[in-house]
Structures are given as C-alpha cells and as structure tokens.
Amino acid sequence: MVTAIVGANWGDEGKGKLTDMLAEESDIIVRFQGGSNAGHTIVNEYGKFALHILPSGVFYRHTTSVIGNGVALNIPDLFREINGIVERGVPMPKMKVSDRAQIVMPYHILFDEYEEERLAGKSFGSTKSGIAPFFSDKFAKVGIQVSELFDEELLREKLESVCVQKNILLEHLYHKPLLKVDELMDTLREYRKMVEPYVCDVSAYLYEAQKQGRRILLEGQLGSLKDPDHGIFPMVTSSSTLAGYGAVGAGLPPYEIKRIVAVVKAYSSAVGAGEFVSEIFGDEAEELRRRGGDGGEYGATTGRPRRMGWFDAVASRYGCRVQGATEAALTVLDVLGYLDEIPVCVGYEIDGRVTRDFPTTASLKKAKPVYEILPGWRSDIRGITEYDELPENCRRYIEFVEKELEVPVKMVSNGPARHEIIKR
C-alpha cells in the first residue's frame, strides 16, 4: 500500500508535520523529488527540527528513510542533517540512497548563485541550493549518478568534459574562478565515502517491500503551484511536485499509489516572487504572518518573511486536482482564531469575467480575487481533539473549504505538534 503526502498550494502547508504523523503508521518513507532547497518543520518529543533533505519519518525507530532516484542529492547536506539529529538524541536513522539518484555538485550551487547575481532584480528568488543547474544537467545528461561514484575512470572522463563547458561560462559569462578536475575528483571521493554504506537499488527494494505488504509513504516537497508543468511557470521549482511523479522518482508502479493526501493550508503563504491572487499586504498581512505557523511565517531555509494571503479556493481546488488528491488535510486552522471575519477567495476576475478555473500565468497576472466573507470563531481551538467540539463557525469554515476543494477534508490540524490533529 503506497500513500503519497503532497502540498496543494505553494509549499509550507505543514506537510512535514503530517508526514511525521503518517510515518508513525508506515514502514518506509521515500523522498521522490526536490532536494535540500525547501524545509520542513517538525515538532516532536526530541524538539523542533528543520529538515531539508531527510524524509520526515527519520524520528521513528521502525521506519526506513529512503532518498529516491528523483531527488537532487546534496551529499554533505544529507550527512550534516543526519549528524544534526543524532547529536540531539534521535536514534541513527535507517537510510537508503538510490544508486540512480544524481548528485548536486559544488558547481551547481555556484552556478545558482552566479545566475541569481547576473539576473539581479529579475531573478527567480532561488534558494541557491543548486537545484535548477542540477536538473538542467540531469536532463542535458551530464549529471553524475550515485552509481558512477564507483567508477573513477568514467568519473574523470565525465568531469573533464563537464569542465570544458562549464569553464567557458565561468570565464566569459560570469567572470569567476574556473573548475579543476582534480579538485572535483577529490570531492567526489569524499562523497563516495559518505554515501557508500547506504547505496541501494531503491526500486527493487520497494518492489520487494510491496510484495511483503509493507506500508510505503511518499513525501512530497513544495506544492502543486510550484510544479514545473502544472504550476505557475516560470516561478516554479525544477522537479515535479506531484504525487504522480512519485512513481517515477521512487521507482514504483503508478497504480500502487492508492491514497493521495493533499495538504491544504487554511490561509495562503508563498515565498519568492510570482503571481499570488489572494495576497494581502500591510498590517493585515503582518498580523497573519506573525501569528502564522509555529512562531511566524518565515522561510525554513532562508528565514525570509513569507508573503501572506487568504485561503484561495481556486488555486487550492486546482492544486488538489492536479495532485489527484483522494483526501485533503487542512492545516494551521488554529491560526485564524483571532479574526472576526475571514475572507476566502472563491473566484478570479479576469478581463471582467469571473472564473473558478485556475488559469495559465499570463491570465493569472490579470486576475483579481473575488471574496466571500465567512464569520470567524474568535477562539483558540488548540487542544480540541473531536470535530464536534470545534466552534460552529470553525466547522462552517472547514465545510465551506471542503465543498470548494471537491475533496473530503479528512484531517484538520490545529497546532504544530505531532498529535494536534482532528480526524473526521
């Protein structure tokens, strides 16, 4: 049985918390896309953690954490993260790293920085983790696979060819120091030492695990609106954020992904530039930002203040649909308890016409939000464990959201901690 847990919005929906929770009833947790560019925040008995590359199930003794072939693997980041949690008392996680995962090279990170610098004000707001240059190389077929770390001759040949091309850009476009093959070989030898004990044919491992009836959880990073195909192009990430990609990025049959939990935020937040129809500004935004998440809405990787907005039903319904969500989990609902009235964006007005369908970016640029105002519940709902005990207006909000999403809301999260969840 394979479950996927994915974001329906811009990311930062609280997937980390939900994954940590669902991991309790899973055997294997797999990261299938993205890299160490975004962060998940998890609060549990060991403390508060920001994970970037480790699957959120690493805190349990009974789970195996897997880095699938679809991940942009930053090996030093992975080991820094493992050491970081072990130092804080978490048992050494059982890890597997796909032999088909490709490696984020130091030059990917440099190129990310140099390109942001070159684009200056027109940049994509990259986290400068090397993700876009990494995926460019992967699809240009000049990336380096984990399996290739074990063949020095091939590695050197590959690096020699890579350096010729990269050094032309470094010299003439960016005016930066050139790459040296010997230094890169040394780095890759270090990487090999770090990763060797964990290298695994992940697809075969998961095939066997499935035959034995083990429960597999696919953990997505970011959200639908950051998908390179279905998201708000070009303000997207470089690998698919959709559950469907879980089949590719982990090496599983697509029809085995039976349960797809889309995490939907009770309000909106986004980082970086890009279209955001229900965005709010000024004091109104500042108050929501300050009260949001667990200690405010600031990026887990960059610390940047997140852009804030009201719940966007148009974007979230679309976000659930492209995920193929079989259910939704509504998060951070407790945060809205201070409001008398809560606006919800139910339509986009584009050129004088109102639509409920999420458009492509050019139309999105022209879209103005159409709001419906729901009454607030003016109380703290943290600590409530039964749906029926929620204030009536809070239930009305959830039911309104559910109707708009066209997907059943089966879980409601009313606090950052692992067990602050109401099941319906």
Annotated catalytic, 40?
A: yes
Q: Which is nearer to ligand GDP, 66 or 329 (CB)?
A: 329
**Binding residues vs ligand GDP (CB under 6 A):** 7, 11-17, 38-41, 43, 293-294, 300, 331-332, 334-335, 413-416
Task: For Cα atoms 193, 128, 298, give the angle at the middle one, nearest 5 degrees.
Answer: 110
Residue with structure tokens 């049985």? 1
Q: Which is nearer to ligand GDP, 127 or 195 (CB)?
A: 127
Distance from C-alpha of 247 to C-alpha of 164, rounded to nearest angstrom:
35
Cross-strand pairs, 312: 345
Q: How far is the CB of 299 from ligand GDP (least distance, A)?
A: 8
Q: Which is nearer to ligand GDP, 15 or 317 (CB)?
A: 15
Token couple for 38 = 């975004």
Catalytic annotation, pick one of 20, 40, 52, 227: 40
Q: Which is nearer to ligand GDP, 149 or 329 (CB)?
A: 329
Distance from C-alpha of 260 to C-alpha of 247, rounded to nearest angstrom:
12
Q: How far is the CB of 161 from ligand GDP (least distance, A)?
A: 37
Q: Which is nearer to ligand GDP, 76 or 337 (CB)?
A: 337
Q: Which is nearer to ligand GDP, 7 or 143 (CB)?
A: 7
Residue with structure tokens 């109401």? 422
Q: How far is the CB of 122 from ligand GDP (least distance, A)?
A: 26
Q: How far is the CB of 35 from ligand GDP (least distance, A)?
A: 13
Please give the positions annotated as active site.
12, 40
